[in-house]
Each structure stands twice: as C-alpha cells, then as structure tokens.
Amino acid sequence: MSAEEALFQRFGKDIPKGTVLFREGDPGKEMYVLQSGKVAISKKVRDVEKVLAILGPGEFFGEMAIISNKPRNASATVEEEARVLVIDPRTFEAMIRGNSEIAVRMIKKLAERLSDADAQIENLLLSDPNSRIVHHMLQLCQSRGRQGEEGIEVDFPVRDLPRELAVGEPAIRFMVSRLERAGLVETSGDRLTVRDTARLFDFLRYLEMKWKFGEL
C-alpha cells in the first residue's frame, strides 16, 4: 500500500461534485488536503459570490480557521468529484510539530496566497476586461511560470477563469486567439506559452491607455 493510500484510509473521504465543504462564517474545525478533483474557493463581495481560486490535486485549504481559531473567511465547493484528506486540529498540530518540512511548505504556500490575493485585487481594479485577462497571464508567468523552449509556460484553463476574472468565457477565448495571432502567446489545451513577457506587458499598457483615452 502506498503512503497516499494509507493516508486516505485514515483521513480520506470521497466528496461528490456540488458539495459545499464549508461556508464563509462557519466555525472552522478541520482543514483539507485535495488528492484529486477540484475545489472552488469563493467569498461574498457585495452580495455577489466571487471565486478566488480553483484548487487542484496537492493543494490544501481551510487551515486558517484552525490556525486563527476564527470563523471561515471563505467558502469551499467541490467543482469536480474529489478525494480529500480531512485533518482535525490535533492531527494538524502534530504534523507541524513533528515535521519541519511540512511547516516550511505551508509557510511558503501561505506567502504565495498573500501574493496572489494582492495580484487579484490589483486585477479587479482594472476597468477594462481585456486588461484583466492579460494582467492575469502576466501574473501567472511571475508566480507559477515554467521556462520552456518557446517561452514561459503556465496553466490557463479558460473554463475556470470567468468567475475569477469577472469576464465571460467567449471574451477570454477571443483575447487568447487575438494574442495568438499576434505571435505573443501559443496555446495547447489548458496550457499557454507566453513567448515574450516584455512584449505582453507592453500590450497590457497599450490596452490600458486605449481604455483610458479611447480611439484618438
């Protein structure tokens, strides 16, 4: 039996699509580690449910309620049938105390989330939907980009982005196609390669100026 299977036997649950694991404001008694499937993290902003992130295998969530002993600051909903490890406070504390590597990885992940939150706030301040799409690409290059032969590769699942960027899927696909025709990006399934981040940044500035001043 693999270590992953052993952990699932002890702490695991199979969760069907559509299940709300917890809601914003609920007391937090458990954290979760996602082994498979997808989970959407969302928060209510002015009575509108705003998706903050779509998490995939290997991600953990719900830990802040355990650490701070405060109510949940966001909601978690299963987007695709998921296998999760459910960790209670006592087990969580034992994991942190007994394995410094886990503690370091968690600190790094929390720092990454703070950076992502700052970038998302900056993104949502952009009035132009096209600028939000391009800004998001650049932010992904900086935070999660992988250097490839043709440029910086990032995961860019268009179907998951409309709620995160507040831009419709057709508009996102149109902009990606436009950038591809211009030779700025290349797509392959849910992967996007940015050929030259400096040129893409220049295009973002062009979009912002065009939105501000219109066609001259």
pLDDT tens digits along 6-37: 778 888 899 999 999 999 999 888 999 999 99
Distance CA 179, CA 174 (A): 9
Give the integer Cα–Cα distance in Å for 136 and 164.
10
Query: How many helical (H) and strand (E) elements, i.e. helices and strands, does the chain have?
Result: 8, 10
Tell me, what's the pLDDT at 95? 80
Among residues 93, 101, 85, the alpha carbon closest in space to that of 32 is found at: 85
Task: Name which CATH class applies to 125-213.
Answer: mainly alpha
How high is the pLDDT of residue 3? Answer: 64
Q: Where in the chain is the domain with CATH 1.10.10.10?
A: 125-213
- Position 111 scores a pLDDT of 72
Only one residue has tokens 């942190």, namely 96
pLDDT score recorded for residue 156: 92
pLDDT value of position 192: 93
Amino acid at 104: V
Q: According to the model, what pLDDT value does residue 152 have?
A: 94
Distance, CA of 142 to CA of 80 (rounded, Å): 27
Q: What confidence score (pLDDT) does residue 46 get?
A: 67
pLDDT for the residue numbered 215 = 59
pTM value is 0.60
pLDDT at 159: 87
Domain 3-99 fold: Jelly Rolls (2.60.120)
As annotated, the residues of the chain forming the CATH 2.60.120.10 domain(s) are: 3-99
Residues of the chain with pLDDT under 50: none
Which two three-digit tokens encode residue 183? 């030779």
* Residue carrying structure tokens 């002890």: 10
Start-to-end Cα distance in the chain: 67
Counting Cβ atoms within 10 Å, is residue 26 exposed (0-12), middle (13-18) or buried (19+)?
middle
Q: What is the pLDDT of residue 210?
A: 81
User: What pLDDT sits at residue 203?
Assistant: 92
Q: Give me the pLDDT at residue 182, please.
A: 92
